[in-house]
C-alpha cells in the first residue's frame, strides 16, 4: 500500500487548501484560551509551531502535541457542519477512495480486531462504530459476524442516512450525547476520530459510558511519536488544523485511557506508510529535509531496506498510526 492509494495527491491537496481557507473563515475572530495537555492534563508545555493560524504546544510531561490556545467548541461544531473542506471530504474525497480504503484499511482492521477478540475469548454481541461515516467498517464486520448487532453513531445527517440505507441501526448524534446507549455495548470502535475531538478526556469518558462491564474499546489515530510526524514536524500534512488538533504520544495514550477508568491498556503501531509519506514529502519539497543527512541517505536505499525499516517502526511503537485496545 502507498500513501497515494488512500490519499490521491490531487484530492488531498485540494482538501488541504480548503482546510486552510476554512480556518480563516471559521476561526479568524475566535476568542481562544490556553488548555492543559488533553492526554495527561499537565499545564507545563512548550510552544512548538504555528500552522494555518493555529498554535501547537508540546507537553513537557508526556510528549503529546496539541493545538493551543484553542477556539471554543462552538466554532468547531459550526466548522464541521458548514465548512467546504468537511463537505469535500464527505462528498468527494472519501467516495473517491472508499473501495480502496475498504480493501486496504477497513477489511484488514476488521480481521485484526476479530483476532484480538478471539485471542482474549471475547465475543461481542453488540458493537458500536463511532463516527461510522459510510459504514465500511460495519459492512466488513457484518461479513465475518452477521449475528453481531451493529450500531452506527454518526452525527452527520448525510452519512447517517448512508448507514441507514445499508441496514444499520443509526444513532444520529455525537457520542457524548448518546446517553440512551449507556452500558449497552460490548465493543466500541472509534477509527481515526481521536485527533479530531475537542476534548479527548470527555470523549473517552463517553466511550466508557457506552460499555457494559467487561466491554472493550479499540481506538485508532495518529501519534506524535510516529516517524513521519517526528521527521516532518510542522510540515507534516497529517498536522492539518482545524481538522487534526490532537497528536497524543504513546505515554499520553496510556495516561488518558487510565484517567478515563480503563484497564489493560495495550498500544500497537501497525502503520505501513511512514516511510512512503516522508519520501513523498521530499519529492514534493526537496528542501524539506535540509540538514537531515541520515534520513535522506536512508530514503535512497533499496525497497527491501525501506520495507525492513518500516517493519522496525511498526514493531517498536514508532509508526504514526496507532491502535489502543482497552477494557472497562
pLDDT for res 142: 97
Please state the domain count of the chain: 1
41 touches 256 (CB < 8 A): no
Q: Would you state the pLDDT for residue 141?
A: 97
pLDDT in the model for residue 4 = 85
Domain extent, residue 142, equals 3-327
DSSP letters of 150-175? EEEE---HHHHHHHHHTT-EEE-S-G
CA dist list (Å): 180 to 128, 167, 198, 200: 13, 20, 22, 21
Residues of the chain below pLDDT 50: none
| pLDDT given for residue 41 in this prediction | 97
Counting Cβ atoms within 10 Å, is residue 172 exposed (0-12), middle (13-18) or buried (19+)? Answer: middle
pLDDT digits (tens, 9 = 90+) for 100-151: 999 999 999 999 999 999 998 999 999 999 999 999 999 999 999 999 999 9
Question: What per-residue confidence (pLDDT) applies to 6?
Answer: 87
d(CA 176, CA 191): 16
Q: Are 252 and 301 in contact (CB under 8 A)?
A: no
Give the Cα separation of 150 and 126 in Å (integer): 6
Distance (Å, whole) CA 111 – CA 108? 5
Secondary structure class of 267 (helix, strand, coil): strand
Q: What is the pTM of this model?
A: 0.94
Q: How far apart are CA 314 and CA 273, in angstroms?
A: 10
Alpha helix ranges (H) inside the chain: 3-6, 9-27, 73-82, 84-88, 94-101, 107-119, 136-144, 157-165, 200-210, 227-232, 250-259, 274-284, 293-299, 303-315
As a whole number of angstroms, the distance between CA 273 and CA 321 comes to 9
Distance between terminal CA atoms of the chain?
34
What is the domain-level CATH number for residue 65? 3.40.50.150
Amino acid at each position: 500500500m502507498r500513501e497515494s492509494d488512500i490519499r490521491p495527491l490531487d484530492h488531498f491537496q485540494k482538501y488541504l487548501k480548503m482546510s486552510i481557507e476554512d480556518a480563516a473563515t471559521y476561526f479568524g475572530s475566535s476568542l481562544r484560551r490556553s488548555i492543559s495537555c488533553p492526554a495527561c492534563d499537565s499545564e507545563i508545555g512548550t510552544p512548538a509551531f504555528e500552522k494555518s493560524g493555529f498554535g501547537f504546544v508540546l507537553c513537557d510531561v508526556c510528549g503529546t502535541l496539541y493545538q493551543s490556545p484553542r477556539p471554543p467548541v462552538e466554532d468547531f461544531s459550526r466548522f464541521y457542519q458548514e465548512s467546504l473542506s468537511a463537505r469535500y471530504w464527505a462528498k468527494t474525497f472519501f467516495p473517491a477512495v472508499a473501495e480502496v480504503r475498504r480493501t486496504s484499511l477497513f477489511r484488514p482492521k476488521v480481521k485484526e480486531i476479530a483476532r484480538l477478540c478471539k485471542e482474549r475469548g471475547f465475543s461481542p454481541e453488540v458493537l458500536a462504530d463511532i463516527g461510522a461515516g459510510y459504514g465500511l467498517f460495519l459492512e466488513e464486520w457484518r461479513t465475518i459476524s452477521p449475528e453481531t448487532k451493529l450500531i452506527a453513531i454518526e452525527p452527520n445527517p448525510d452519512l447517517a442516512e448512508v448507514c441507514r440505507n445499508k441496514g444499520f441501526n443509526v444513532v444520529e448524534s455525537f457520542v457524548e450525547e448518546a446517553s440512551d446507549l449507556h452500558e449497552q455495548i460490548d465493543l466500541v470502535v472509534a477509527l481515526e476520530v481521536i485527533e479530531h475531538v475537542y476534548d479527548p478526556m470527555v470523549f473517552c469518558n463517553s466511550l466508557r459510558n457506552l460499555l457494559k462491564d467487561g466491554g472493550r474499546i479499540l481506538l485508532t489515530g495518529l501519534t506524535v511519536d510516529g516517524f513521519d510526524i517526528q521527521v516532518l514536524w510542522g510540515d507534516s500534512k497529517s498536522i492539518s488544523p482545524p481538522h487534526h488538533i490532537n497528536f497524543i504520544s504513546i505515554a499520553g495514550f496510556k495516561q488518558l485511557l487510565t484517567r478515563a477508568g480503563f484497564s489493560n491498556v495495550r498500544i500497537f503501531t501497525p502503520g505501513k506508510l511512514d516511510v512512503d509519506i516522508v519520501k513523498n514529502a521530499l519529492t514534493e519539497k526537496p528542501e524539506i529535509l535540509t540538514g537531515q543527512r541520515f534520513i535522506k541517505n536512508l530514503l535512497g536505499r533499496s525497497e527491501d531496506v525501506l520495507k525492513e525499516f518500516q517493519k522496525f517502526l511498526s514493531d517498536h511503537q514508532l509508526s504514526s498510526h496507532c491502535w489502543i485496545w482497552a477494557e472497562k
